[in-house]
């Protein structure tokens, strides 16, 4: 009987023990996970990745470059999931917009990013903000983004 109670208590309290940990800003490990799973992105992978963005990450060159490239890849591969996380409101949207407006790599296909985001399902206001950020990035690079 004692073993039964112990097992029951273990499984009952396990949900509290394995509670979701708070997001660590500039977490390169979350970038790595998202980058490695671009063809099998889940809500949790994207959520964990997007929550790492913060203005304080600018001093971390490895994080800044890799996270920026991965952000564009995530938007291209899973735009609806991306918007779903944005709509939850638990990410730094201002920082994400700044990242989109300043791609670190000239090889990022801004037109593809725009097209994929446009095809994604999201609230019109949120979708427009992110589409405008891609258009702005194009203008900074002297690229015309076709709507």
Q: What is the per-residue pLDDT for 22? A: 83
pLDDT, one tens digit per residue, over 69-100 is 999 999 999 999 999 999 999 999 999 999 99
- Within 8 A by CB and 6+ apart from 90, the residues are 47, 51
The answer to whether residues 81 and 71 touch, using CB atoms and an 8 Å cutoff, is: no
Q: The pTM is what?
A: 0.85
Token pair of 110 as six digits? 């801004």
Report how far residue 99's alpha carbon sits from residue 104's, in angstroms, rounded to the nearest whole number.
Answer: 9
Report how far residue 130's alpha carbon sits from residue 6's, in angstroms, rounded to the nearest whole number.
Answer: 50
Report how far residue 95's alpha carbon sits from residue 71's, in angstroms, rounded to the nearest whole number.
Answer: 12
Report how far residue 80's alpha carbon sits from residue 130's, in angstroms, rounded to the nearest whole number.
Answer: 12
| In the chain, % of residues over pLDDT 90 | 85
């Amino acid at each position: 009987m004692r073993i039964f109670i112990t097992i029951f208590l273990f499984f009952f309290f396990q949900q509290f023990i394995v509670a979701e940990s708070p997001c660590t800003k500039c977490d390169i490990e979350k970038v790595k996970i998202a980058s490695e799973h671009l063809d099998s992105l889940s809500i949790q992978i994207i959520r964990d990745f997007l929550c790492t963005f913060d203005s304080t990450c600018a001093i971390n060159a490895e994080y800044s470059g890799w996270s920026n490239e991965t952000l564009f890849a995530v938007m291209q591969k899973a735009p609806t999931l991306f918007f779903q996380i944005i709509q939850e409101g638990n990410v730094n949207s201002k920082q994400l917009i700044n990242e989109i407006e300043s791609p670190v790599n000239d090889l990022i296909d801004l037109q593809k990013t725009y097209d994929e985001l446009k095809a994604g399902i999201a609230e019109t206001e949120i979708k427009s903000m992110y589409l405008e950020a891609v258009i702005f990035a194009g203008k900074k690079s002297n690229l015309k983004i076709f709507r």
